[in-house]
Structure 1
Amino acid sequence: MADNHGESPLAARADLLAQASVPGVVEIGEVPFQAQITLRADPKGAGAERAGTALGTMLPTQPGEVAASETVRVLWMGPDEWLLVGAQGSAEEIQSTLTEALAGEHASIVDVSAHRTVVRVAGPKAEELLSKGCALDLHPRSFEAGRCAQTMLAHAEVVLVRNSVEPPEFWVFVRSSFSRYLADWLADAASEYGRPSAAA
């Protein structure tokens, strides 16, 4: 079995993102090594229902919907496509669960954990910061908790997920090859918020 230990895509930007973060205003940091599995299957088939039962949450059927159980989140990516996200090291277990549930069905189950990394953007200024490079209306009235969207952020293709409204928290899924570019952009865009005083 291949050694899956190594440096995360944004390890070299960890200090930059920490310095760009302002406690109580905006926090930016990588959430590395999340298990990510792409599933393609017939949403109306018996296999999809079995998969939902096995995962502990039914596969979402509406655009932008996110479903979740205690161990996995399922993001709607298309009429017959989902991105399943779990904790580090859980990719094999998720794949095994899906393979068993979808046995005999026409489906595709692919580990894409190395394809993207996740950047967490949180705090009162999170919406404002992301809106500098994203055309979506990120106000909670339009983009509420438990929603996802495939969009552009600073000219990079991303999957944006709102985890919560209060406190505001987003996860940004970005291709590993674009992650450092996006980290640099986020750090620069957050510079106007200043940094906490070093004085006690």
Structure 2
Amino acid sequence: MAEQLLTDITRLRRSPLADLQAQMAGASVSGARGVALREIPFLTMVGIRVAPGSPAAEEIAAAAGVPLPTGHGQVTGSPEGTAVVWTGPDEFLLVGPQDTGAAPTGGTGLSTDPAVPGLVRALGGERGAVVDLSANRTTLELDGPSARAVLEKGCHLDLHPRAFGVGTAVSATLGPVPVLLWRTAEQTWRIMPRASFAEYTARWLLDAMTEFAAPEVP
């Protein structure tokens, strides 16, 4: 009964950018100036607070299957699997594929995966927190040779590889929107706004991509 109820709830989910899927696909540009935008919906996101170096931190790392990052901008693990992003001196964000760590919902005790209860058990009685944040953000992926140029129109960080290499993730501002910005490959970036800002962020990016669809003037 509980599993059937969970399945029914999952079918009702609608991503924050469901209405923009066709527009994002149609805005993709190929070639040397190419850039593409898509949403990666429903990624698992778990907020973790724990004292670095503590026994609880070691237990949480073992439960997550990847070590906790140790400094600003660092990410451990893999964007294709489970990764942990450093978000503060004792704060981390675990990011995983869809339905790999959603916390129990309400008072039903439902969970799509035992990962979160396992993290809670790993924390034990130590000071800290393990919180399901999967519905808090969505994930946009910007990819292509012009991806960095698009971001540079509204992000004041130095995004050059010498300062922002592959595997770096930091809190940033894109236009007026706070986001988590994660460079997952040489020409690929994940932009993670809060769900309530997702449509604004996507439309901002679509507008910034427009010039790359036009022929380059000699």
Query: What is the TM-score when the length of structure 1 is the normalising length?
Result: 0.92
**Aligned equivalent of 1:4, options 10, 15, 22:** 10
Q: Which moved more, 1:85-94 or 1:175-184?
A: 85-94
| Residue of structure 2 equivalent to 1:73 | 83
| Residue of structure 2 equivalent to 1:62 | 71
**Aligned equivalent of 2:51, options 42, 45, 51:** 42
Confirm whether residue 114 of structure 1 aligns to residue 114 of structure 2.
no
The CA deviation at 1:23 is: 2.6
Closer, same or farther: CA 114–194 of 1 in aligned 2, 3 Å: same
- In structure 1, stretches of 5+ residues that fail to align are none
Confirm whether residue 173 of structure 1 aligns to residue 192 of structure 2.
yes
| Residue of structure 2 equivalent to 1:164 | 185
The CA deviation at 1:110 is: 0.6
Q: Which residue identity lines up with residue 73 of structure 1 in the other structure?
A: A
The alignment partner of 1:190 has SS state of helix
The alignment partner of 2:118 has SS state of helix
Equivalence map 1:1-200=2 (5 Å): 3-5=9-11, 6-24=13-31, 25-68=34-77, 71-92=81-102, 93-165=114-186, 168-194=187-213
Task: Name whichever structure is richer in strand by fraction.
Answer: 1
| Residue of structure 1 equivalent to 2:108 | none
Larger Rg: 2
Query: What is the TM-score when the length of structure 2 is the normalising length?
Result: 0.84
Closer, same or farther: CA 19–60 of 1 in aligned 2, 3 Å: same
8 Å CA contact retained: 1:162, 1:170: yes
The CA deviation at 1:195 is: 6.7
For 1:161 and 1:95, the matched residues in 2 are separated by 23
For 1:52 and 1:85, the matched residues in 2 are separated by 13
The alignment partner of 1:129 has SS state of helix
For 1:117 and 1:195, the matched residues in 2 are separated by 29
Q: Once the two structures are aligned, what percentage of the paired residues are identical? A: 40
The CA deviation at 1:65 is: 0.3
Q: Which residue identity lines up with residue 84 of structure 1 in the other structure?
A: L
- In structure 2, stretches of 5+ residues that fail to align are 103-113
Provide the alpha-carbon RMSD of the alignment.
1.6
Q: Which residue identity lines up with residue 25 of structure 2 in the other structure?
A: A
Closer, same or farther: CA 115–34 of 1 in aligned 2, 3 Å: same
How many residues are aligned here? 194
